[in-house]
Chain A
Amino acid sequence: MARTHKYNGMTAAALFAVTGGMVGLAFASVPLYQLFCQVTGYGGTPKIGAIASEAVVSDRVIKIRFDANTNGELPWVFKPKQRQVTVKLGESRLAFYTAKNMGERAVTGTATYNVAPYKAAKYFSKIDCFCFSEQTLAPGEELPMPVEFIVDPEIFNDPNTRELRTITLSYTFFPTAAGEPPVDDKTSNARVHRTTKEAAQNPSPNSS
């Protein structure tokens, strides 16, 4: 019996370890999922920074459409300056949105983003974007919101994406939790729980 008891304890300990490991995996899935989305473009997560194939500007063009949404709690008018642009593949391009605060107080917001169709995301790179940081607007203030992007010419070599002629770039502006501007850059916000700087390094796009 004593032998059985020892084995029982060891087996149970191993099984408890497995349980703990699975809980750990569940939590590890959060950063892993984000990483997975960024690497594969899953859920329309665009690339950040320069494209892989050294920018060989192609003659071929693709149409980029701009979509803007604003969360109901944010008293902003947020819209693209241009409905659509046609860009050469491999050429970096600057486009603008504008945001105007219609409210009576200064408000801070952040934009989540993705591209549609999702499968285009791994060929769509953002070099710089207003969405990488929190934006604060004084009452009545209107600011241009720039985004610089580049479309990888590889998009026409991939059998899954070669039929694409249009990519839609979409943003949704949300207020940060309190909706108040942060006192300084380092004040992290409870709801959004990341600072501007972190957001720029590790952006968390929408639906990924």
Chain B
Amino acid sequence: MANEATAAHGSHDHHPHGWRRWLYSTNHKDIGTMYIILSIVAAIIGGAMSVLIRLELMYPGIQFITDFQFYNVLVTGHAFLMVFFVVMPAMFGGFGNWFVPLMIGAPDMAFPRMNNISFWLVAAALVLLLISAFTQGGPGTGWTVYPPLSNVEYHPGPAVDLGILSLHLAGASSILGAINLIVTIFNMRAPGMTMHRMPLFVWSILVTAFLLLLAIPVLAGGLTMLLTDRNFGTSFFETSGGGDPILWQHLFWFFGHPEVYIIIIPGFGIISQVISTFSKKPIFGYLGMAYAMVFIGFVGFVVWAHHMYTAGLDADTRAYFVAATLVIAVPTGVKIFSWLATMWGGSLEFPAPMLFACGFIFLFVMGGVTGVALANSGMDLAWHDTYFVVAHFHYVMAIAAVLSIFAGFYYWIGKMSGRQYPKTLAKIHFWMFFIGVNVLFFPQHFLGMAGMPRRIPDYPDNYWGWNYVSSIGALITSISTVLFLFIVWRTFAAGDKVPANQWGEGATTLEWTVDSPAPFHTHEVLPDMTVQAPAE
């Protein structure tokens, strides 16, 4: 395919135009762009849902959501959109497609047409999910889709079935994308670009791809069982037929825990690139950083039942899962301290991407600390399903991941669009977003410790104060998101042209050796890395 493409596009500026360029695209940069656009669209919808949730929770009593199933659908839709259609498409599909081939010196992905189907599958999945939300009450199951709530008795309409099919498509898309990226990274590196010289972003995508490959099929299997339970009279999770709803929890979390690493590990990669660039130093402890991600990925598969401490596990089982979960603090600590050590003594600059990277470290440490607390079964029995858990996972995987996406966006938008983002506005965006999300989520720790349960649209009056503060944080965050959209418009409408390497001596990876914006075809002459210093 690559040969064919090279032959067809012998002259430099010849490439398909109009809708064909996008619909039939086999170009990793165009597909990456489409992923990023899809992510922004889904983020607006998913973000709007969370604003509705926060507005409802701003005061005790029912404000405007009188249909509680609708509230459940909001919670479910927000989670699905943010996990499968915002963070994954932005980092893995978007930045992964754009920059893995550039960074390893490959002309494109290994299977460009498979790349195309990966994108259009996830686009179709998004449409299915939105249809599901508008079908007979919508799916009010939460993103965990636990039976019996997701059984046909409690969700009789086709909404849950549509949601399951949507996840099947999104899963197929992710598996194809993962295979494509693994093959690209294994087989298409430039001469001299050994595994141990790959930029850490490429390592992060490689680890993520393997997590997807091993985790998504288990979700697909579980979802298929749920689908047949709902429609064809099987009883995998149906007690009356000898099935067991707890089995679903095991299958779901065997996928679900690696999934949260799928979300955050590409963020680790982006943050490593950004911090190294703006410290003007190679990353501290390169091999430790790379293998910390591999180790996190591995351990991520053997800790799933820490989501199920209240499901009736015996004491010995819980003791194992507590210990295994606490072990994760070691490789994540290696990463945090290596980032700090990279900055230590560096020639630091703080443009917007670096601000977002520093914000990421703060948020990730915050979420990590509450994670260590929650890992303990005894504590979790009290905190399970409270707002403490909501605060924890939003810190560690939601807003930390979004900060890393913004870091990557500001870091690479010059390379992607050829234009400079408005620098001051970007810094204002950072501070508004950072303050907004902290005001939004920090008080939820207090609410959770006071016992406020998740997923309920009302609460006793004594929880009012911090809920009000939290909702104010949500409003600040949404204003900053509007500012971000304005910045995107402004960048394309009035941004100055940027040179090939806009960040100077700190930016050593291969994407900075090609023009900005990156030409349609890059690395037509393979870069020779055999003589260069490792690119970190």
Task: Contact check, B175 vs A19: say whether CB atoms are below 8 A apart.
Answer: yes
Q: List 16 A-B contacts (CB under 8 A).
A: A5-B2, A8-B110, A11-B110, A11-B182, A12-B183, A19-B217, A22-B214, A27-B225, A29-B247, A33-B247, A71-B240, A192-B242, A203-B242, A204-B241, A206-B239, A207-B312
Task: Indicate whether B314 reaches chain A with its CB closer than 8 angstroms.
Answer: yes
Tell me the residues in window 308-322 of chain B with beta carbons closer than 8 Å to chain A beta carbons.
Answer: 312, 314, 316
Tell me the residues in window 162-208 of chain A with beta carbons closer than 8 Å to chain B beta carbons.
Answer: 172, 174-175, 177, 190-194, 203-208
**How far, in Å, is B377 (CB) from chain A's closest CB?**
16
Instruction: Give 20 A-B pairs besides A15-B213, A23-B220 with Cβ atoms closer than 8 angstroms.
Output: A4-B187, A11-B182, A12-B179, A15-B178, A15-B179, A16-B179, A19-B217, A25-B221, A26-B220, A26-B222, A27-B225, A33-B244, A33-B247, A43-B312, A118-B312, A192-B241, A193-B233, A206-B244, A207-B239, A207-B244
Task: Contact check, B239 vs A11: say whether CB atoms are below 8 A apart.
Answer: no
A-B pairs under 8 A by CB, number: 115
Q: Contacts A18-B214, A22-B214 hold; do A193 and B235 have CB atoms under 8 A apart?
A: yes
Interface string of B209-237 (1 = CB under 8 A from A): 00001111110111001000000011110
**How far, in Å, is A1 (CB) from chain B's closest CB?**
6
**How far, in Å, is B371 (CB) from chain A's closest CB?**
26
Number of interface residues of A (CB under 8 A): 44
| A contact residues around B246 at 8 Å (CB) | 43, 207
| B contact residues around A194 at 8 Å (CB) | 242
Nearest to A41 among chain B residues (CB) is B314
Task: Contact check, B247 vs A112: say whether CB atoms are below 8 A apart.
Answer: no
Partner of A112, one of B221, B222, B239: B239
| A contact residues around B244 at 8 Å (CB) | 33, 43, 206-208
7 pairs of A and B residues whose beta carbons are closest in the complex:
A26-B221, A204-B242, A174-B240, A22-B217, A23-B217, A15-B179, A190-B233
Task: Contact check, A8 vs B241: say whether CB atoms are below 8 A apart.
Answer: no
**How far, in Å, is B304 (CB) from chain A's closest CB?**
12
Partner of B247, one of A16, A30, A174: A30
Most buried by A among B221, B225, B242: B242
Partner of A191, one of B178, B214, B218, B241: B241
Task: Indicate whether A79 reaches chain B with its CB closer than 8 angstroms.
Answer: no
Q: How far is B225's CA from A23's CA once the two chains are assembled, in angstroms?
A: 11
Interface string of B176-195 (1 = CB under 8 A from A): 00110011001110000000
Q: How far is B222's CA from A18's CA once the two chains are assembled, in angstroms?
A: 17
| B contact residues around A43 at 8 Å (CB) | 244, 246, 312
Q: How far is B243's CA from A207's CA once the two chains are assembled, in angstroms?
A: 8
Tell me the residues in window 13-40 of chain A with beta carbons closer than 8 Å to chain B beta carbons.
Answer: 15-16, 18-23, 25-27, 29-30, 33
Tell me the residues in window 81-121 of chain B with beta carbons closer than 8 Å to chain A beta carbons.
Answer: 110-111
Task: Contact check, B187 vs A7: say whether CB atoms are below 8 A apart.
Answer: yes
Task: Indicate whether A47 reaches chain B with its CB closer than 8 angstroms.
Answer: no
Task: Indicate whether B521 reaches chain A with its CB closer than 8 angstroms.
Answer: no
Task: Indicate whether B3 reaches chain A with its CB closer than 8 angstroms.
Answer: yes
Q: How far is B238's CA from A172's CA once the two chains are assembled, in angstroms?
A: 13
Task: Contact check, B233 vs A191: say whether CB atoms are below 8 A apart.
Answer: yes
**How far, in Å, is A202 (CB) from chain B's closest CB?**
9
What's the dominant secondary structure at chain B's contact region? helix
| B contact residues around A191 at 8 Å (CB) | 233, 235, 238, 240-241
Partner of B235, one of A8, A16, A192: A192
Q: Contacts A26-B218, A43-B312, A118-B312 hold; do A112 and B179 have CB atoms under 8 A apart?
A: no
Partner of B221, one of A12, A18, A27: A27
Partner of A11, one of B187, B214, B314: B187
| B contact residues around A33 at 8 Å (CB) | 244, 247, 250
Nearest to B179 among chain A residues (CB) is A15
Task: Indicate whether B435 reaches chain A with its CB closer than 8 angstroms.
Answer: no
Nearest to A37 among chain B residues (CB) is B244
Nearest to A73 among chain B residues (CB) is B240
Task: Indicate whether B251 reaches chain A with its CB closer than 8 angstroms.
Answer: yes
Task: Contact check, B186 vs A11: say whether CB atoms are below 8 A apart.
Answer: yes
Q: How far is B249's CA from A34's CA once the two chains are assembled, in angstroms?
A: 15
**How far, in Å, is B190 (CB) from chain A's closest CB?**
12
Most buried by A among B187, B220, B222: B187
Tell me the residues in window 1-42 of chain B with beta carbons closer than 8 Å to chain A beta carbons.
Answer: 2-3
Task: Contact check, A15 vs B214: say whether CB atoms are below 8 A apart.
Answer: no
Task: Contact check, A15 vs B182: say whether CB atoms are below 8 A apart.
Answer: yes
| A contact residues around B188 at 8 Å (CB) | 4, 8
**How far, in Å, is A148 (CB) from chain B's closest CB?**
21
Q: How far is B239's CA from A68's CA once the two chains are assembled, in angstroms?
A: 15
Q: How far is B215's CA from A193's CA once the two chains are assembled, in angstroms?
A: 29
Q: Contacts A22-B214, A207-B239 hold; do A193 and B234 have CB atoms under 8 A apart?
A: yes
| B contact residues around A119 at 8 Å (CB) | 314
Q: How far is B221's CA from A130's CA once the two chains are assembled, in angstroms?
A: 34
**How far, in Å, is B271 (CB) from chain A's closest CB?**
27
Interface string of A37-81 (1 = CB under 8 A from B): 000001100000000000000000000000000010000000000
Q: How far is B215's CA from A191's CA once the two chains are assembled, in angstroms?
A: 29
Q: How far is B246's CA from A206's CA once the two chains are assembled, in angstroms?
A: 10
| A contact residues around B215 at 8 Å (CB) | 22
Task: Contact check, B217 vs A12: say whether CB atoms are below 8 A apart.
Answer: no
**How far, in Å, is B226 (CB) from chain A's closest CB?**
12
**How far, in Å, is A136 (CB) from chain B's closest CB?**
16
Tell me the residues in window 73-93 of chain A with beta carbons closer than 8 Å to chain B beta carbons.
Answer: none
Nearest to A2 among chain B residues (CB) is B3
Nearest to A112 among chain B residues (CB) is B239
Q: How far is B233's CA from A191's CA once the two chains are assembled, in angstroms?
A: 5
| A contact residues around B234 at 8 Å (CB) | 193
Task: Contact check, A172 vs B312: say whether CB atoms are below 8 A apart.
Answer: no
Partner of A174, one of B3, B183, B239: B239
Q: How far is B483's CA from A125's CA once the two chains are assembled, in angstroms?
A: 67
Nearest to A109 among chain B residues (CB) is B240
Q: How far is B236's CA from A12's CA once the two chains are assembled, in angstroms?
A: 32
Q: How far is B247's CA from A43's CA once the two chains are assembled, in angstroms?
A: 11
Q: How far is B216's CA from A29's CA once the two chains are assembled, in angstroms?
A: 15
| A contact residues around B175 at 8 Å (CB) | 19
Q: How far is B304's CA from A65's CA once the two chains are assembled, in angstroms?
A: 34
Q: Contacts A4-B187, A11-B187, A193-B241 hold; do A26 and B251 have CB atoms under 8 A apart?
A: yes
Interface string of B343-387 (1 = CB under 8 A from A): 000000000000000000000000000000000000000000000
Q: How far is B233's CA from A26's CA once the two chains are assembled, in angstroms?
A: 19
